[in-house]
Amino acid sequence: MLIVRATKKLRDRVGGQSLKEGDEPTTVLGQWYATALFWQPQVALLVNEPTLLPVLMPLAPAATLLIRFPDHLATVLAAHGVQETFINEEARRMKRGNRVGKTANRSVVGIMNEFSHLAEAYRGRTEAPDLLEMALRLAATPCSPLNRRHVSPDRELHAHLSRAQG
């Protein structure tokens, strides 16, 4: 099951089943945090809680965001050199269902805000930015919560997957 903890503005637009007490993700990557970037066209920024890996994708139509997310994540993971077998299994687990809840980890919300500002700067004046390229660039950003581990989300992703495959 995919669990996304979203900002209120995004939760109101996405809808979906609410996170209930005891709901746990069935994915190796765990929970995701999400917010909306009110660009033209609007974009969703999702950040993985354990690795801080960012994924950018079109927000519209918002009602299908969580259904479309596994395919966008697959593209990002492939660009990071993750094995196809892992990508397919993670997508399969996400497609079993999803839940949306309130944000709960202030550290991840802080990183999501930093990524939002950086993405705005990277976007510049471009009307149609390359969201994959931007996500890869954000993933190479040093993040203070990762300083004692692997410094950036791209490195933390590979370390997390190595531990999970143990």
For 23-48, the pLDDT digits (tens) are 889 999 999 999 999 998 999 999 99
DSSP at 100: E
What pLDDT, in 10s, does the model give residues 67-117? 999 999 999 999 999 999 999 999 999 998 899 999 999 999 999 999 999
What are the extents of the domains in the chain?
A: 2-165
In the numeric block, which tokens belong to residue 15? 């809808």
Query: Rounded to two decimals, what is the model's pTM?
Result: 0.94
113 Cα distance to chain centroid: 13
Is 63's pLDDT higher than 90? yes
Backbone dihedral angles phi then psi of residue 42, each to the nearest 5 degrees:
-70, 150
Which is higher by pLDDT, 97 or 153? 153
Q: CB of 90 within 8 A of CB of 26?
A: no
**What is the helix (H) or strand (E) element at residue 37, kind and residue range?**
strand 32-37
User: What confidence category does residue 128 fall into, taking pLDDT thresholds of 50, 70 and 90?
Assistant: confident
CATH architecture for the domain at 2-165 = 2-Layer Sandwich (3.30)
